[in-house]
Chain A
Amino acid sequence: MSKKIILLVEDNQDDEELTVLAFQQGNVANEVVVVRDGAEAIEYLFGTGRYEGRDVSDLPQITLLDLKLPKISGLEVLRRIREDKRTRRLPVIVLTSSREEQDVIESYNLGANSYVRKPVDFVQFAEAIRQLQLYWLVLNEGPPV
């Protein structure tokens, strides 16, 4: 089985670099694809716009979704993912700075598989990413294709 990609939806360059760095430290062989706003995430997943023609049946193994995104918010992206037959079972992990109760509730209501708050401290952040990887890429049995 070829390694599936990890889709990272992240608008902040620093956070993007740090997340990719953390994945590298965890020796993940999966390619990390980064999209920088909600609209691009939608285009990628549904093969439209900039990703016209992409094979949409090739779903990411996991999607790491930030909530505060330009154009289309993370929650809206999540809603569209769950509405569409092709992506409704896609594992989505909300990875955000927010610990606002309303965001957590809303994410789960919309069908997030997990909610992880990004720690400020990089050692803790890298550890969070390592555990995420271990659980979602190794331990967890993903939905059948």
Chain B
Amino acid sequence: LRDYAESIVKTVRHPLVILNADLQIEVANPQFYRTFQVEPAATEGCRFYDLWNGQWSLPALQLLLEEIIPSDGFVEDFLVENDFAGIGVRIFLLNARRVERAEDHSFIIVLAIEDVTDRRHAAEAIQQLNEDLEIRVQERTAQLAASAKELEAFCYSVSHDLRTPLRAISGFSQELLRKYTPILDDTGVHYLKRVCSASQRMAQLIDDLLQLSRIGRADMRRVTLNLTAMAHEVGDALLQRDPQRTVTFKIEEGLTGQGDPNLLQLVLENLFENAWKFTGKKPEAIIEFGEADRDGCPAYFVRDNGAGFDMEYVGKLFGAFQRLHSDRDFPGTGIGLANVQRIIHRHRGTVWAEGVVGEGATFHFTLGSEEKE
């Protein structure tokens, strides 16, 4: 049994030492001798405190060996930190156990000493790196936010300034049309009309661009919204605007969601107006608004039976100024869905679409949650 115990002592990776009741070293393992750079002959029989010219005679260690172990029988992960002559500051984790000797009721102490100095330093270095990284992330985030803001302001200013010359183009060409048609031939009048309608289109583009910039800058708040009521309002407004259309709205009852009221109003308006527009050539148009579960989160959808789109181009759908239909078929600036995506992303939600050419399109969106903002 003694051989068995000794072979365990010798095998353990950490320095291990057996002390008798007088705290003299009975035996130690090779790792102990290596770590503390002492010879077995000069060590065995020595008092533990005398090792290394008495440097181990620490108050904490005395407390451990003379009080805690004799009374509690064991100790786990007892930390000793000391500036040792020759090797500098070391941190040791001590584990010890009192073992009764059956033959004479005396006891020995098995003491394992683990040098955790390097591990500690590594952990501290990692912590320092993490802190540095966190600071750097904060700095970069602030820079990013600042440049995004600058870009928004630039976008706003440019689109704003573009309106003034455009008003001159539109204004003077319309004056020409109004007063000078008698001295122009048909081609001249035609060209002027083209100038007028082009400037109108550009005005629409600028307005949409301004809205896109506003959406990025608008303050956002989250409240519980009655999406069903909002959808009914948006649908009713479309029916009033264009009463000759036959469109059936199927709006699910009791839909609520957490979001910004103004921004989500824009989302519903954009999606409904899209559905309205792209069902323009269907005699019996149906526009649905509902909710379907998606991975435990409510995902809302707006579905229509209109012109649909080719899934091959689905990636272009939400890009600003991207269009999947010619202006001749369905007029538009290609900003609406970019706005929708921007708003949904600001809500930490996702938006995606499915479509079949000639059969219709479905737009899904989720609203994310507040905690993640």
Q: Interface on A for B, CB 8 Å cutoff? A: 12, 14-15, 18, 21, 97-100, 118-123, 125
Q: Which of B107-115, B156-164, B319-327 contacts A (4 or more CB under 8 A)?
A: B156-164
Bound CA span A121–B160, Å? 14
Instruction: Among B160, B164, B174, B175, point to the contact of A15 (Cβ < 8 A).
Output: B164
| Chain B: interface residue total (CB-CB under 8 A) | 19
> Restricting to B123-174, which residues have a CB under 8 Å from any CB of A?
156, 160, 163-168, 170-172, 174
Interface assignment of B203: CB less than 8 Å from any CB of chain A? yes
- The binding surface of chain B is classed by DSSP as helix
Return the chain A residue nearest B165 by Cβ: A14
| Interface 1/0 per residue, B280-317 and A, CB below 8 Å | 00000000000000000000000000000000000000
Return the chain B residue nearest A120 by Cβ: B203
Instruction: Among A14, A98, A99, point to the contact of B167 (Cβ < 8 A).
Output: A14
Bound CA span A99–B210, Å? 9
* Contact across chains for A125 and B160 when beta carbons are under 8 A apart: no
Residues of chain A within 8 A of B168, CB atoms compared: 14-15, 18
* Contact across chains for A120 and B174 when beta carbons are under 8 A apart: no
B164, B166, B171, B202: most-surrounded residue (chain A CB, <10 A): B171
Given contacts A99-B210, A120-B199, A121-B200, contact A18 B160 (CB under 8 A): no
Interface assignment of B206: CB less than 8 Å from any CB of chain A? yes
Bound CA span A26–B200, Å? 23
- A-B contacts, CB under 8 A, total: 51
Given contacts A15-B164, A125-B167, contact A120 B156 (CB under 8 A): no
* Contact across chains for B171 and A21 when beta carbons are under 8 A apart: yes
Residues of chain B within 8 A of A120, CB atoms compared: 163, 166-167, 170, 199-200, 202-203, 206
Question: Distance (Å) between the CB of B113 and the closest chain A CB?
Answer: 69
Question: Distance (Å) between the CB of A18 and the closest chain B CB?
Answer: 4
Q: A14-B164, A97-B160, A120-B166 are in contact. List 13 more A-B contacts (CB 8 A).
A: A12-B164, A14-B168, A15-B168, A18-B172, A97-B163, A97-B164, A100-B156, A118-B163, A120-B163, A120-B199, A120-B206, A122-B172, A122-B175
Return the chain A residue nearest B168 by Cβ: A14
Q: Interface on B for A, CB 8 Å cutoff? A: 156, 160, 163-168, 170-172, 174-175, 199-200, 202-203, 206, 210
Question: Distance (Å) between the CB of A119 and the closest chain B CB?
Answer: 8
* Contact across chains for A121 and B203 when beta carbons are under 8 A apart: yes
Bound CA span A14–B170, Å? 11
The 7 A-B pairs at the shortest CB distance, nearest first, are namely A14-B168, A120-B203, A122-B171, A18-B171, A122-B174, A97-B163, A120-B167
Bound CA span A99–B206, Å? 12
Bound CA span A37–B170, Å? 24
Return the chain A residue nearest B170 by Cβ: A122
A–B pairs, 12, beta carbons within 8 Å = A14-B167, A14-B168, A14-B171, A14-B172, A97-B160, A99-B210, A100-B160, A120-B163, A120-B170, A120-B199, A121-B199, A121-B200
B167, B170, B210: most-surrounded residue (chain A CB, <10 A): B167
Question: Distance (Å) between the CB of B220 and the closest chain A CB?
Answer: 14
Bound CA span A121–B169, Å? 9
Question: Distance (Å) between the CB of A98 and the closest chain B CB?
Answer: 6
A98, A99, A121: most-surrounded residue (chain B CB, <10 A): A121
